[in-house]
Amino acid sequence: MAAVGDRRDDTSWVVVELTRSGELRAEEGTLDRYLQEGLQTPGHKVFIPATTYVRNGKRITIHLMEGYAFVASGLPETLYFALERDCIHVKKVLCTPGPGGIPVLSVLSDTDVQEMKTQLRTVISEDINAGMRVMITQGTYAKLDGEVLEVGEEDAQVLIELRSFKVIRSIPRVFLEPMTEGGEG
């Protein structure tokens, strides 16, 4: 059993540099699927440090780190390196020379990736405005959507309507994600 605080079993994240077509797939929200197909592992965790949504008919993309994606470790290294050869959306999988010149995957800790996710949510929350449809991403009302009625410095007043339930709640802005006009977050 690992000791408390032992992070050796935590997920680490392989750093992938994207081609221009990969960046375009990231903006349209399909890159994770292409990377999973390239890894031959549907559902494998992928983090793309960008998000795109539509507001007032205009497509808005927020990039935290343009040109990169992060893929959860745990698969044979050969699958990651095969992305360079087999996936037109991957420019290269970052690595360093290991013993005998054999490449070793460059990885980020799960803590680093969680920090990036928090930073991205913070950047997104700055774009929350009254009248906007939002998806609540965390807390008691997670996975529900609503309409922002008023925006404060830290929180937003959100009208949440279900069939037999209507309530206005103060939700931290970092827990809100703008929804596209088609209804997706």
Rounded Cα distance between 124 and 117, Å, is: 10
Which amino acid is it at 143?
K
pLDDT digits (tens, 9 = 90+) for 78-96: 999 999 999 999 999 999 9
Q: What is the mean pLDDT of the chain?
A: 88
Could you give all domains of the chain from N- to C-terminal order, each with its CATH number? 12-125 (3.30.70.940), 133-178 (2.30.30)
Residue 24, φ and ψ in degrees, nearest 5: -65, -40
Asked if 166 contacts 159 with a C-beta cutoff of 8 angstroms, the reply is yes
Q: What is the mean pLDDT of residues 148-154?
A: 93
Q: Specify which residues 60 forms β-bridges with.
A: 53
The amino acid at residue 170 is: S
* Contact partners, residue 109, CB within 8 Å, separation at least 6: 7, 10, 12, 13
Q: What pLDDT is stored for residue 1 in this prediction? A: 44
Mean pLDDT score, 125-140? 89
Spatial distance between the Cα atoms of 30 and 33, rounded to a whole number of angstroms:
6
Q: What is the model's pLDDT at position 9?
A: 60
Q: Is it the case that residue 6 has pLDDT exceeding 70? A: no
Longest dimension (CA), the chain: 66
pLDDT tens by residue, 165-179: 899 999 999 899 888
Res 3 pLDDT > 50: no
What are the distances in angstroms from CA 144 to CA 141, 159, 169, 175? 6, 10, 12, 11
Instruction: Report the amino acid identity of residue 54.
Output: V
More confident residue, 109 or 127: 109
Task: Give the pLDDT confidence score for residue 58 in this predicted structure.
Answer: 78
Q: Is the confidence at residue 63, as pLDDT, over 90?
A: no
pLDDT of residue 28: 87
**Structure tokens belonging to residue 69:** 């994606």
SS3 of residue 77 by DSSP: helix
Instruction: Give the pLDDT of residue 179.
Output: 83
Encode pLDDT of 30-45 as tens digits: 999 999 999 999 999 9
pTM exceeding the 0.95 threshold for the entire prediction: no
Give 8-33 pLDDT, tens digit per residue. Answer: 567 899 999 999 999 999 988 899 99
